[in-house]
Amino acid sequence: MTNGRHTDLGSELALTAQEQQATSSNNSRSYHDPVMLQESIDALHLQPGGRYIDLTFGGGGHSRALLGRLGTTGRLLAFDQDPDVHAHLPHDGRFAFADANFRHLKRFAAHHDMLQVNGILADLGISSHQIDEPGRGFAFRHEADLDMRMNPRAGQTAGDFLRQADEEEIARVLRQYGEITAARRVAQLIALARTRNAMNTTADLCKAIEPITASGKERQFTARLFQAIRIHLNDELGALREMLQQTAAVCAPGGYLVVISYHSLEDRLVKQFMRSGHFHNSIETDVYGHSIRPFEPSPTQALQASEQETATNPRARSARLRVARRTQTPWP
């Protein structure tokens, strides 16, 4: 369980020089190292002939592990909106791919005849590839165009947002998605800087906020800034809410929902939904006082990556894995 603060900064962006070297070495071996691979596969209680959905294909690590456990009659549907993943799709008759954001879960599941599946897995956040690919603009340690789109084929870029939004909107985004207390001051610095240059690159943005970055805390502060802009541009929390609300219609009674999150904003939504079927703390009950909800959350605390895994994959250190089982309760 997170403490209300963001916990993905060190694992995704604010890497030390030693961690950058280790991560670079890992990336030379794979597109993306799947986090808590064994734990997530175990949590699905895989049936060899079952049907499963991987909502975040990424480098395909989780999908390949699932296919390795499925029998000849098993089926797997994977989602991803990033065109870079196409080169890593498996050629397997049991595998189908939805080139889409997972907020369209129910529509594509129906299209592929994958309603009432035995399990759904979602590894949230951004992949190692997206961070380490300089041209994507996700990480401030690379000078690149300010892009930050999960799907580079559509939507507004970070540069467009920072050049066009007014100070109040920028401040709201930084406060809401980065918990930056000096959000208004940062927004003012960005507005001032864009009158002097085009605010085109990650270096432009980093230079704009130099007057406010505290000595020794530049990396953490800048990581929060980049994270906030990324979450806003990709509507990550809105997509997460929409996806979770559709899982009850897609997952069969007795099936499992497994979600790995990387910061408190994601984890809070996942925990609330698994607990109540909604995104608030109230739980509906029947006349006998029994909970009415689409999923029964695991009674154990959220799982965290092992020390061994975080030593080799620093980005796993903020991961939280939550599990819930589909109840018999009909749900919209």
Q: What percent of the chain has pLDDT over 90?
A: 68
For the chain, what is the mean pLDDT? 87
Per mean pLDDT, which range of 79-83, 214-218, 245-249, 274-278 is the poorest?
214-218
User: Per-residue pLDDT averaged across 255-260, rounded?
Assistant: 98
Per mean pLDDT, which range of 29-38, 138-147, 191-200 is the poorest?
29-38
Q: What is the reported pLDDT for 18?
A: 35
Q: What is the pTM of this model?
A: 0.88
Q: What is the reported pLDDT for 276?
A: 94
Of 125, 146, 139, 239, residue with least CA distance to 199: 146
- Is the distance from CB of 100 to CB of 108 less than 8 angstroms? yes
User: Per-residue pLDDT averaged across 128-137, rounded?
Assistant: 65
pLDDT class of 125 with cuts at 50, 70, 90:
confident
Structural domains of the chain ordered from first start: 9-128+236-326 (3.40.50.150), 152-233 (1.10.150.170)
Positive or negative: CA dihedral 203, 208, 209, 212: positive
Q: CA 74, CA 46: separation in Å to the nearest integer?
A: 10
Q: What is the reported pLDDT for 25?
A: 38
Mind listing the pLDDT tens digit for each residue in 75-91?
Answer: 999 999 999 899 999 99
- More confident call, 304 vs 133: 304
Mind listing the pLDDT tens digit for each residue in 169-183?
Answer: 999 999 999 999 999
User: Per-residue pLDDT averaged across 254-281, rounded?
Assistant: 95
Amino acid at the residue 130: Q
Q: CA 330, CA 332: separation in Å to the nearest integer?
A: 7
- Is the distance from CB of 77 to CB of 59 less than 8 angstroms? no
